[in-house]
Amino acid sequence: MSTLDDPHLLALLHDDVPSGDLTTQALGMGLRAGQLSFHARQPMTVCATEEALRLFELAGARATLLLPSGTPTNAGDLLLEAHGSAASLHAAWKAAQTLVEWASGIATATAAVVAESGGATVACTRKNVPGTKTLSAKAVRAGGGIMHRLGLSETLLVFAEHRLFLNEPPLGTIQRLRHAQPEKKIVVEVSSLQEASLWADAGVDVLQLEKFTPQAVADCRAAILSRGDGHRPLLAAAGGIRADNAGAYVAAGADFLITSWPYTVAPRDVQVSFSLAA
């Protein structure tokens, strides 16, 4: 099922073809029957093939989905096919290809972090490109990750930038948050072992360790475990987490990983092949 609804997809088509396809119209070949196929040029975790299929349908073509979002693919694997007039195929071609390539890049990168984490939870931040949150979240889930937070409205995450405006000890902050939002976990971002210990003593549920090295995560875990009061907050490693260091952070004692890295990787390549209708 598509994550992007028809109004969003129609907006993408209108953005690319606001007043018709000038080249197709000028050549007079828009009514010729044709077909096209999407193949993976390289291994990837595919995403947004559902949206691509719907784009072709909205443009007036018929499409068949071969590999849904979340499927690991090899180079050469067939992702989808579309049949219709040359005009309909050309109208949806680039928007559909770009969506699949871009979303598959995020999904593939997320899957790489998940694989290297050895089974630990990988949560992606809300630092996606503005306007792409819905499909970014789908791509993260397609890669086996979860969303750290979709926005400011559903989670309690206390940054140093919040604490700047407070004039109370950490325990007072935690108690006020628990009273105001008793069903929510309380997460506090810290940048040093000293801060981590201070907020652990206050009873925080999750310590978000911002830009800690793996060794610093290990030191933090040892310090938290040595407290011996029965309360151990979860440790979330955040800042600079990538596929090439995810395993080191988990081995150091992070309970889960928080990353924005999948949003910055290159798209995957999709080969589009056109042919005349058989």
Mean pLDDT of 9-31: 94
Contact 150, 134 (CB under 8 A): no
Residue 218 pLDDT greater than 90, yes or no:
yes
Residue 147 to residues 8, 103, 263, 268, Cα–Cα distance (Å): 22, 15, 12, 21
pLDDT on residue 229: 74
pLDDT on residue 180: 97
- Our CA angle for 233, 235, 236, nearest 5°, is 135
Distance CA 81, CA 100 (A): 13
Domains 6-108+266-276 and 114-264 share a fold: no
Q: Which residues, 6 or more positions from 272, have their beta carbon under 8 angstroms from its beta carbon?
A: 36, 37, 38, 93, 97
Task: Spell out the CATH class of 114-264.
Answer: alpha beta
Q: How confident is the model at residue 1 (pLDDT cuts 50, 70, 90)?
A: low
Domain boundaries, the chain: 6-108+266-276, 114-264
Q: How confident is the model at residue 277 (pLDDT cuts 50, 70, 90)?
A: confident
Q: How confident is the model at residue 36 (pLDDT cuts 50, 70, 90)?
A: very high
Q: How confident is the model at residue 228 (pLDDT cuts 50, 70, 90)?
A: confident
Average pLDDT, the chain: 96
pLDDT on residue 3: 85
- Over residues 129-164, the pLDDT tens digits come to 999 999 999 999 999 999 999 999 999 999 999 999
Entry pTM: 0.95
Q: What CATH code is assigned to 6-108+266-276?
A: 3.90.1170.20
